[in-house]
């Protein structure tokens, strides 16, 4: 054999070898299990069947989407990402009241110092229109107090209210009235409720007002601001007008169904009282414990809280449909649990869900809007925009308030 032929043979061998390698690699890709419809075995998710399904009545679309916005009702489902909403929907015969708030957007939830926000920073962004550090309530990252939409609304003659299925001093409601560098300063937060800017609050947390480290009781201070103090739901039903401080539990409010219809009932009472103001009102309602269901990685806890929140949304939408001058916004501060919905039997209320964390996640969360001005909430934007969009909806002249500039 000549040298040339030897080299040629070697060349052919190499080409064949690499050809064979390519073919093997191609075969490997082709035989990937998922391409044959076979999937990696995974542990079963957590299955829960609710008995608390509710029928969703038809909510008429708003007659005049260009009507003047007199009232804003902001409903915050703490920890309510798309999966939590869909878990509720899937467990409730494929229907939710939230679906009627069909101007839909997403808000990005990162805080000033963390991609993964907490409820204090998230609440403050929506309440005050600024990014702040996790844990901060109604303050920027340099500990400057920032006026909230509730406080601005009050200064413009609106009646204002806060309702929460937790301590009223907890991070989310606190973001709308208090200004402290730590969400854990519950007793300091309580002092901010002695306010001319606030007309009504309903939630738990009585101990932060009258079993304090400084052994003060804030109840007489609340009374001096004109609040009627209420400690039971029975008493609350009797109240028909005026300022209301309803502290219905020493600590947090119980979970659903232990607390019964606390959230829809309290929301209706808030609307009944605040809507008596000729100049309109601002109300924030929090479904506080969707978040706690996520932290617990409990499908049951998430579904029951989600459905209770949706029944509350239903009450609000019925009022708004009737009223015609009320903008309703339903959103969350962040997602909790990294939840996913894997399977469901919507008629039976049966749901299989899984979680990826016991903490919050960084995913964007949905914003649903209904009523005049709802179109402004479509799109993808930062959580601070929720504040600016509400401010624009109310058409306040805020040219002098520096912290309201974008
Ligand atoms: Mg909260
Ligand atoms: Zn949380």
The pLDDT tens digits of the residues spanning 323-380 come to 999 999 999 999 999 999 999 999 999 999 999 999 999 999 999 999 999 999 999 9
DSSP state of 138: S
**For 403, phi and psi rounded to 5 degrees?**
-70, -5
pLDDT of residue 5: 75
pLDDT of residue 42: 74
Q: Is the pLDDT of residue 4 over 80?
A: no
Q: Is the pLDDT of residue 406 over 60?
A: no
CATH assignment of the domain containing 238? 3.40.720.10
Q: Is the pLDDT of residue 260 over 60?
A: yes
Q: Residue 379 Cα, ligand 2 centroid: separation in angstroms?
A: 25
* Tally of helices (H runs) and strands (E runs) in the chain: 13, 15
Please write the tens of the pLDDT for every residue from 34-53: 888 888 777 788 999 999 99
pLDDT of residue 40: 79
pLDDT of residue 37: 81
Q: Does the residue 67 lie in any domain?
A: yes
pLDDT, averaged across the chain:
94
Q: Residue 15 Cα, ligand 1 centroid: separation in angstroms?
A: 65
The band of 143, judged by pLDDT with boundaries at 50, 70 and 90, is very high
Q: Residue 195 Cα, ligand 2 centroid: separation in angstroms?
A: 27
Q: Is the pLDDT of residue 11 over 80?
A: no
Counting ligands in written order, the one closest to the CA of 291 is: 2
Helix (H, G, I), strand (E, B) or coil at 155: helix
pLDDT of residue 391: 96
Q: Is the peptide bond before 257 cis (omega within 30 degrees of 0)?
A: yes
Q: Is the pLDDT of residue 400 over 80?
A: no
Q: Residue 135 Cα, ligand 2 centroid: separation in angstroms?
A: 11
Q: Residues 345, 296: contact at Cβ < 8 Å? A: no
Q: How far apart are CA 277 and CA 213, in angstroms?
A: 37
Helix H or strand E segment including 5: helix 3-30
CB count, 10 Å around CB of 77? 29
pLDDT of residue 41: 74
Q: How far apart are CA 234 and CA 107, in angstroms?
A: 38
Counting ligands in written order, the one closest to the CA of 165 is: 1
pLDDT of residue 33: 79
Counting ligands in written order, the one closest to the CA of 288 is: 1
- Strand pairing class (281-287; 159-167): parallel
Average pLDDT for 216-237 = 98
Q: Is the pLDDT of residue 120 over 70?
A: yes
Q: How far apart are CA 152 and CA 160, in angstroms?
A: 10
pLDDT of residue 34: 80
pLDDT of residue 20: 54
Q: Is the pLDDT of residue 12 over 80?
A: no
Residue 143, by phi and psi: left (phi above 0), alpha (psi -120 to 50) or beta?
A: left
Q: Residue 212 Cα, ligand 2 centroid: separation in angstroms?
A: 25
Residue 373, by phi and psi: left (phi above 0), alpha (psi -120 to 50) or beta?
A: left
Q: How far apart are CA 287 and CA 343, in angstroms?
A: 25
Q: Does the residue 34 lie in any domain?
A: no
Task: List for the chain the helix, strand, coil content (%; round to 5).
Answer: 35, 20, 45
The band of 32, judged by pLDDT with boundaries at 50, 70 and 90, is confident
- Strand pairing class (71-77; 281-287): parallel
Q: Residue 161 Cα, ligand 2 centroid: separation in angstroms?
A: 23
> How far is residue 115 from each of residues 79, 84, 191, 281, measured CA to CA in Å?
15, 20, 31, 33
Q: Residues 229, 219: contact at Cβ < 8 Å? A: yes
Domain of 367, in residue numbers: 48-404
Q: Does the residue 5 lie in any domain?
A: no
Q: Residue 290 Cα, ligand 2 centroid: separation in angstroms?
A: 9
Q: Does the residue 32 lie in any domain?
A: no
Q: Residue 76 Cα, ligand 2 centroid: separation in angstroms?
A: 13
CA-closest candidate to residue 328, choices 313, 339, 309: 313
Counting ligands in written order, the one closest to the CA of 183 is: 1
pLDDT of residue 29: 59
End-to-end CA distance of the chain: 83
Helix (H, G, I), strand (E, B) or coil at 127: helix
Q: Residue 37 Cα, ligand 1 centroid: separation in angstroms?
A: 42
Counting ligands in written order, the one closest to the CA of 79 is: 2
Q: CA-based angle 125:368:296, to the nearest 5?
A: 70
Q: How far apart are CA 380 and CA 125, in angstroms?
A: 15
Q: Is the pLDDT of residue 23 over 60?
A: no
Cα dihedral 34, 297, 302, 133 in deg (nearest 10): -110
Q: Residue 261 Cα, ligand 1 centroid: separation in angstroms?
A: 19
DSSP alpha helices (H): ranges in 63-144?
Answer: 82-91, 119-128
pLDDT of residue 403: 61
> How far is residue 154 from each of residues 74, 78, 124, measured CA to CA in Å?
15, 24, 17
Q: Does the residue 23 lie in any domain?
A: no
CA-closest candidate to residue 366, choices 328, 314, 404, 330: 330
Q: Residue 14 Cα, ligand 1 centroid: separation in angstroms?
A: 66
Q: Does the residue 301 lie in any domain?
A: yes
The residues placing their C-beta within 5 Å of ligand 1, an ion, are: 78, 119, 172, 288
CA-closest candidate to residue 176, choices 143, 141, 152, 206: 152
Between 77 and 9, the more confident residue is 77
Q: Residue 286 Cα, ligand 1 centroid: separation in angstroms?
A: 7
Q: Does the residue 271 lie in any domain?
A: yes
Q: Residue 307 Cα, ligand 2 centroid: separation in angstroms?
A: 18
Q: Residue 194 Cα, ligand 2 centroid: separation in angstroms?
A: 27
159's tokens: 């009646």
Helices 262-274 and 299-323: crossing angle in degrees, nearest 10, is 20
Please write the tens of the pLDDT for every residue from 292-308: 999 999 999 999 999 99
DSSP state of 180: B
pLDDT of residue 38: 83
Please write the tens of the pLDDT for every residue from 58-114: 999 998 999 999 999 999 999 999 999 999 999 999 999 999 999 999 999 999 999
Q: Is the pLDDT of residue 310 over 60?
A: yes
Average pLDDT for 180-206 = 98
Q: Does the residue 114 lie in any domain?
A: yes
pLDDT of residue 404: 60
Report the number of distinct structural domains present in the chain.
1
Q: How far apart are CA 340 and CA 351, in angstroms?
A: 11
Q: Residue 119 Cα, ligand 1 centroid: separation in angstroms?
A: 6
């Amino acid at each position: 054999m000549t040298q040339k032929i030897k080299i040629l043979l070697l060349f052919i061998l190499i080409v064949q070898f690499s050809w064979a390698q390519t073919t093997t690699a191609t075969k490997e890709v082709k035989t990937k299990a998922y391409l044959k419809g076979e999937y990696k075995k995974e542990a079963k998710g957590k299955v829960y069947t609710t008995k608390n399904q509710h029928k969703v009545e038809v909510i008429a679309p708003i007659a005049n989407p260009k009507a003047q916005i007199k009232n804003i009702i902001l409903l915050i489902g703490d920890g309510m990402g798309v999966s939590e909403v869909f878990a509720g929907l899937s467990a409730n015969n494929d229907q939710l009241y939230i679906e009627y708030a069909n101007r839909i957007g997403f808000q990005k939830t990162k805080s000033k110092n963390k991609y993964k926000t907490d409820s204090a920073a998230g609440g403050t962004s929506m309440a005050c229109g600024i990014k702040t550090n996790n844990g901060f309530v109604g303050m920027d990252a340099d500990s400057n107090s920032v006026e909230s939409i509730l406080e601005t609304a009050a200064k413009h003659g609106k009646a204002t209210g806060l309702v929460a299925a937790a301590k009223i001093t907890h991070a989310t409601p606190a973001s709308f009235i208090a200004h402290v560098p730590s969400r854990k300063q519950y007793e300091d937060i309580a002092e901010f409720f002695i306010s001319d800017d606030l007309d009504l609050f309903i939630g738990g947390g009585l101990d932060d007002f009258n079993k304090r480290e400084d052994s003060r009781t804030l109840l007489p201070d609340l009374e001096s601001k004109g609040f009627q103090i209420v400690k039971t739901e029975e008493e609350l039903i009797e109240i028909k007008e005026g300022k209301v401080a309803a502290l219905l539990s020493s600590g947090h409010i119980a979970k659903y169904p232990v607390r019964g219809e606390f959230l829809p009932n309290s929301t209706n009472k808030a609307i009944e009282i605040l809507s008596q103001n000729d100049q309109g009102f601002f109300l924030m309602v929090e479904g506080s414990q969707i978040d706690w269901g996520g932290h617990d990685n409990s499908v049951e806890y998430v579904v029951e809280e989600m459905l209770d929140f949706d029944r509350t949304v239903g009450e609000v939408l019925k009022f708004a449909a009737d009223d015609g001058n009320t903008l309703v916004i339903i959103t969350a501060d962040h997602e909790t649990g990294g939840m996913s919905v894997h399977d469901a039997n919507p008629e039976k209320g049966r749901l299989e869900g899984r979680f990826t964390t016991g903490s919050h996640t960084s995913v964007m969360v949905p914003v649903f809007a209904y009523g005049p001005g709802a179109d402004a909430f479509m799109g993808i934007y930062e959580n601070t925009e929720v504040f600016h969009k509400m401010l624009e909806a109310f058409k306040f002249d805020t040219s002098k308030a520096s912290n309201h500039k974008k």
